[in-house]
Structure 1
């Protein structure tokens, strides 16, 4: 599956733009934005990168239905629904928690793209990968190609590993937001030897993600690879939670740069990046890429 896929036309490689900001100049740091959010309006960059080889595998196995998992605000659920709509797959989204009416914007969008929504209580959802739970789901909805939550598997990691090769400037650090660990696992695997990846975790109490990133890299490449670390200090209370401080940062960033940041992921990553720069965590002269997706 390449840059154009039966009704899906992708803007790859995604643009790279430098931020002009006196707060960066003050510390002698350069930051470029990797605008993966512009790859496709409905299937943005890292979502497509994680879906790309998974969907190729589904096609090879002649599956016509995708079943995947996510929270009520999951961008992966939205992207899977859109990809299924354009590529001719039926889609089922298994949502964590109870059903709420009316649907929020994310789930309403997924349903508008033909996705069937079903719900698992939080206790059952924690066991979603176990054979009994999967058997019950496939018994209800029929044979499915099962995609993990967030697209986090070896195929997803391999797709994300292609991103660094698109960056046409030398850089020292590449940053991304992370919920499942897949994006940072893949990006780190695609780095040159002198580069490192930094993932800003958007979940509270997600210490397990360090182990999960290592697992994903082994699934994709057979070993831990690349220089990477996770920052757990900028979740703002947890997944899909926000504070007035974060909202002020989003409004200020939009005023300065004309970009409205996604508050679930990218705003937390960039807030954390600016905070680390302000505290002197990066040497003067550092070149940083921040991935928006």
Structure 2
């Protein structure tokens, strides 16, 4: 199982005139990086506690979560299966999954909507199988992500993270609550129709005045981009040496840059941005960077 690992915290001089640090969870592991490692940590512990040796999960054809789960299972002597949304395809991400021994079940989009039913249909009688929701979402993932807060400076004024399911953000807010910090959590949803994020976070934490959700930076929806975002990514990487993905971290950094431009923060604020990894997502959009 995973040992405790603390990722580095380093200055980010990209935002001139402001004190910004980046929490480099992307450096935890090349395949189980960022919030994927945080989310899987206690899921694996649950599998060990309950005697399960087969993780069954869900994701799209370019899912970082699927690769991370496949790698984590291979390293811990577990089996893995993924229900992959959509028609059968081949790509670099799914190749990595198969190399790590993951079995892939391509599933039509309508059937995919009811994940518990899919699990019960194929694995309901398998007492060795453990249901793992898409992205690893759930209380175990929230618990793992909450531990990030103990690795940050206690005087952090503002903490930024991108959000898909909202699980990472929920964990961060629970960590802030447990430590009784004044840190404001800024969440940047990457999905269109992002009004579900706040309720998803608050179901784990309860109402909290320290939560800020910045809508309007999804660039058209999940895995959608624009020429402006692509140019921002290229400029950011070239001027920081830090790779960011087009699905999550780039949209969070773009949002921060826009908010700083409009004077939402003070120069003496200590701002931390969480790099949640996901760099393999670049493989699914390589044609946009030509």
TM-score over 0.5 for the alignment? yes
What's the offset of the Cα at 1:60? 0.9
Aligned match of 1:182: 167
Q: How many residues align structurally?
A: 273
Corresponding residue SS for 1:133: helix
Runs of 4+ in 1 over 4 A off after TM superposition: 139-143, 223-226
Aligned match of 1:9: none
Change (3 A) 1:189 1:241: same
Q: How does 1:88-127 map to 2 (within 5 A)?
A: 88-100=77-89, 103-127=90-114
What's the offset of the Cα at 1:166? 0.7
Q: 2:257 aligns with which of 274, 279, 286?
A: 274
Q: Which runs of 5+ in 1 are unaligned?
A: 5-11
Preserved CA contact (<8 Å) 1:188 1:226: no
For the residues of structure 1 that align with 2:260 and 2:54, how far apart are their CA atoms?
45
Aligned match of 1:229: 212
Aligned match of 1:3: 3
Change (3 A) 1:207 1:113: same
Preserved CA contact (<8 Å) 1:138 1:144: yes
Q: 1:18 aligns with which of 11, 16, 21?
A: 11
Preserved CA contact (<8 Å) 2:83 2:104: yes
Aligned match of 1:81: 70
Aligned match of 1:199: 187
Aligned match of 1:134: 119
Q: 2:266 aligns with which of 256, 265, 283?
A: 283
Corresponding residue SS for 1:234: coil
Aligned match of 1:156: 141
Deviations 1:201-260 (A, max 9, x none): 111113112111122x15xxxx45672222221111111122221111111111111112
Corresponding residue SS for 2:195: coil
Change (3 A) 1:182 1:252: same
For the residues of structure 1 that align with 2:85 and 2:45, how far apart are their CA atoms?
26
Deviations 1:35-58 (A, max 9, x none): 000011111131111111111011
Aligned match of 1:245: 228
Change (3 A) 1:245 1:52: same
Flag the structure with higher helix content. 2
Q: Which runs of 5+ in 2 are unaligned?
A: 277-290
Change (3 A) 1:104 1:224: farther
TM-score by length of 1: 0.87
Deviations 1:134-158 (A, max 9, x none): 2113159774101111111111101
For the residues of structure 2 that align with 1:41 and 1:144, how far apart are their CA atoms?
26
Confirm whether residue 54 of structure 1 aligns to residue 43 of structure 2. yes
Confirm whether residue 70 of structure 1 aligns to residue 55 of structure 2. no
Confirm whether residue 213 of structure 1 aligns to residue 198 of structure 2. no
Preserved CA contact (<8 Å) 2:155 2:183: no
TM-score by length of 2: 0.88
For the residues of structure 1 that align with 2:122 and 2:266, how far apart are their CA atoms?
51
What's the offset of the Cα at 1:24? 2.9
For the residues of structure 2 that align with 1:227 and 1:208, how far apart are their CA atoms?
18
* Backbone CA RMSD of aligned residues: 1.9
